[in-house]
Structure 1
Amino acid sequence: MQVLPLVDRFGRVATDLRVSLTDRCNLRCSYCMPPEGLDWMPNEDQLTDDEVVRLIGVAVTRLGVREVRFTGGEPLVRRGLVDIVRQTHAIDPGVELSLTTNALGLARTAEALAEAGLDRVNVSLDSVREDTFTTITRRDRLHDVIDGLAAADAAGLGPVKVNAVLLRGINDDQAPELLRWCLDRGYQLRFIEQMPLDAQHGWSRSTMVTAEETLERLEAAFTLAPAKEPRGSAPAELFTVDGGPATVGVIASVSRPFCGDCDRVRLTADGQVRNCLFARTESDLRSPLRAGATDADLAERWLAAVRPKAPGHGIDDPTFLQPDRPMSAIGG
């Protein structure tokens, strides 16, 4: 079978597929959604487990995808998650499988996920202070996240990565504390600039904590130096901490975009292809899938969806409009 790479008009090739399994989440992070939550996607609109696996199979066997990351919402609330991982691993055991999660419930599922073929996890954690964590997530569940991280590490889902967003006036003074906490446990920390993907559309560049500010706060407590290994298409700029080997990453999606090296494509929980987090258009795979389309036809539709990808996310453009879908409905 001929593999046709997912290449766009600028020559970028997508080999990293982000698969959202649900738009539902059991936290209510202030930079993502309102306290009352959102109107969740109807179950009949959501891809079934078999449909998810089939589309991943098309991406891997026909379109050259080599990494699959399961996202949400919160993917751990998807009941069929372990079986989806197992079936995806069976398609091609050489494809890297990862999970982006808030880690609630990970303590119960980490071992099963590892046995099913999951390689590693990225856990969202913005503070290790109970009061700050509760303020940001609107849930008193820090202990569950900490237990989930430990379970993932014990199950061999490493390197365990932690993703943190700094919010001005809330946790922006805690960057060194969070890094020290991760270093002590062997977790790899990545700070991510807050992006305009909140359901409330309340994001403001003027209040966003920039990557530069984050590095200044870290350098007040640690000696940082640019890591020697090439960054490639990875979103994080890596810095060695106090001479290494430990590193910390900064993902400057807004202030230092890396769109020119992007190798990612996204599949939403209702079967829509998005060629960028900030895309204003989507391409429907669910309808043809359910209408009996062949794998070859689905691959052609996917190729057509990626081809017109914009050169960048356009946040700095005066005409920029935030996507209609919030992050929880797109998947990271």
Structure 2
Amino acid sequence: MKQLYDRYDRLHNYIRISITDRCPLRCVYCMPKEGLPFFPTERVLSQDEIVQMVENFSEMGISKVRFTGGEPLLRSDVVDIVRRVHEIPGIDDISATTNGLYLPRKAAALKEAGLQRLNISLDTFDADRYKKITRGGNIKQVLKGIEVAAELGFMIKLNVVVIKGQNDDEIIDFLNYTRTHNVNIRFIEFMPIGNPLKTWQKEYVGLKSVFDVCAENGLEYEPIELTGNGPSENFQIKDAVGSFGLIHPISNKFCETCNRLRITPDGYVKACLYWDEEINIRQAIPDKEEFQRLIQKALDNKPLNHEMAMADADKVVNKAPTWRHMSQIGG
């Protein structure tokens, strides 16, 4: 079986596929306040294209697939997509990143179809703050979705983007949540993607603050290993049921171990989240030989680090930061 290596000898076995750019929320780190013009339906990869693409990838050594968006559960055919991908030989890990709003209705069907793990966005426990951060969301729906997913036996990670002045004072609340809930709280650094640099600089919080909060509150913790595809460093508070993880692309780069490719809703492969470098692979999906050539081309152009952690930007083919917002990439 062919395997995918980039020029830094990193083996890639994981793809993140954004199956829609649409989302009912307008989270401050994901989309501008006024929203975005969503792609028309014909511009978004069809179910058959997605399945064929994953079949191609499986023959290239990809074994792990994560569905993202936008909000992936908005697609009416998401359960069918998961079921068909689950049936592809070689694909042994299927997960999704979601805002959780549709889990009460769709979680059971997704579980039956073969979805194994969920990353659910939850940046605050306060209803008013949640409404402000998401620009209109109802936290009760998300909490219900988490409850339903837990009852069904999903492995659950809660994504918390830490932003100064918005939710950084709730770090202790999330840490305490792991004491009684079998979830992994993933604290994520706010990234300068789709946001003005000055705004980002004012709102960025380094995740060393999580350890500071632990020290201030007398919380003992130890490092642990967790199953999954993410770049987080994981820890567990003494006697806690759950755990917490840190994803810090700014303060503590993890690019050297990156094993993932991203597919945008409109059929472009992005080897690096931050840079504008992307290749349209949609037309090549039926042609496995051409598909493999384009994927390898994307890997050959992949830098060792993104700009947020790299001084030598000359190693990047296209030096412009991506024009896409997070909702148009899938994170």
Normalising by structure 2, we get a TM-score of 0.92
**Deviates most, 293-302 or 271-280:** 293-302
Deviations 1:222-278 (A, max 9, x none): 524341549997411112212556421111111101000111111111111100111
Q: 8 Å contact 1:272–1:285 — kept in the other structure? A: yes
Equivalent residue number for residue 241 of structure 1: 237
Counterparts of 2:227 and 2:144, CA distance in 1: 31
Q: Does residue 43 in structure 1 map to residue 36 in structure 2?
A: no
Q: Does residue 257 in structure 1 map to residue 253 in structure 2?
A: yes
Q: 8 Å contact 1:265–1:273 — kept in the other structure? A: yes
Equivalent residue number for residue 172 of structure 2: 176
2:221 alignment partner AA: A
Counterparts of 1:243 and 1:14, CA distance in 2: 35
Equivalent residue number for residue 316 of structure 2: none
Q: Percent identity?
A: 36
Deviations 1:141-173 (A, max 9, x none): 100100111111112212x11010111111110
Deviations 1:182-241 (A, max 9, x none): 432222111000111235666523530111123212332252434154999741111221
Deviations 1:270-309 (A, max 9, x none): 11110011121111111233xxx42232122212221221
Q: Does residue 56 in structure 1 map to residue 49 in structure 2?
A: no
**Deviates most, 208-217 or 46-55:** 208-217
Q: Aligned to 1:153, which of 150, 153, 171? A: 150
Equivalent residue number for residue 86 of structure 1: 83
Q: Does residue 16 in structure 1 map to residue 14 in structure 2?
A: yes
Equivalent residue number for residue 204 of structure 1: 200
Q: Secondary structure at the match of 1:174?
A: helix
Q: Does residue 119 in structure 1 map to residue 112 in structure 2?
A: no
Counterparts of 1:230 and 1:161, CA distance in 2: 11
Q: Secondary structure at the match of 1:103?
A: coil
Q: Secondary structure at the match of 1:169?
A: coil
Counterparts of 2:40 and 2:91, CA distance in 1: 34
Q: Secondary structure at the match of 2:28?
A: coil
Q: 8 Å contact 1:224–1:241 — kept in the other structure? A: yes
Q: 1:113 to 1:301 in 2, by over 3 A?
A: same
Q: Does residue 77 in structure 1 map to residue 74 in structure 2?
A: yes
Counterparts of 1:165 and 1:311, CA distance in 2: 24
Q: Does residue 303 in structure 1 map to residue 296 in structure 2?
A: yes
Counterparts of 1:196 and 1:256, CA distance in 2: 15
1:146 alignment partner AA: L
Counterparts of 2:177 and 2:240, CA distance in 1: 16
Counterparts of 2:36 and 2:274, CA distance in 1: 19
Equivalent residue number for residue 134 of structure 1: 131
Q: 1:186 to 1:54 in 2, by over 3 A?
A: same
1:295 alignment partner AA: K
Q: 8 Å contact 1:173–1:217 — kept in the other structure? A: no
Q: Secondary structure at the match of 2:173?
A: helix
Number of equivalences? 325
| Displacement of 1:113 | 0.1
Counterparts of 2:216 and 2:165, CA distance in 1: 18
Consecutive unaligned residues of structure 2, counting only runs of 5 or more, are 314-318
Q: 1:39 to 1:202 in 2, by over 3 A?
A: farther
Q: 1:196 to 1:213 in 2, by over 3 A?
A: same
**Deviates most, 316-325 or 243-252:** 316-325
Counterparts of 1:199 and 1:326, CA distance in 2: 8
2:130 alignment partner AA: F
**Deviates most, 80-89 or 297-306:** 297-306
| Displacement of 1:34 | 2.1
Q: Secondary structure at the match of 1:204?
A: helix
1:305 alignment partner AA: A
Name segments (4+ residues, structure 1) moved above 3 Å: 199-203, 228-234, 243-246, 316-322
Q: Does residue 325 in structure 1 map to residue 324 in structure 2?
A: yes
Q: Does residue 191 in structure 1 map to residue 187 in structure 2?
A: yes
Equivalent residue number for residue 314 of structure 1: 307
Q: 8 Å contact 2:178–2:243 — kept in the other structure? A: no
Q: 1:224 to 1:321 in 2, by over 3 A?
A: farther
Q: Secondary structure at the match of 2:236?
A: strand
Q: 1:78 to 1:201 in 2, by over 3 A?
A: farther
Q: 8 Å contact 2:97–2:119 — kept in the other structure? A: yes
Q: Secondary structure at the match of 2:324?
A: coil
| Displacement of 1:37 | 0.8
CA RMSD of aligned residues (A): 2.1
Q: 8 Å contact 1:97–1:117 — kept in the other structure? A: yes
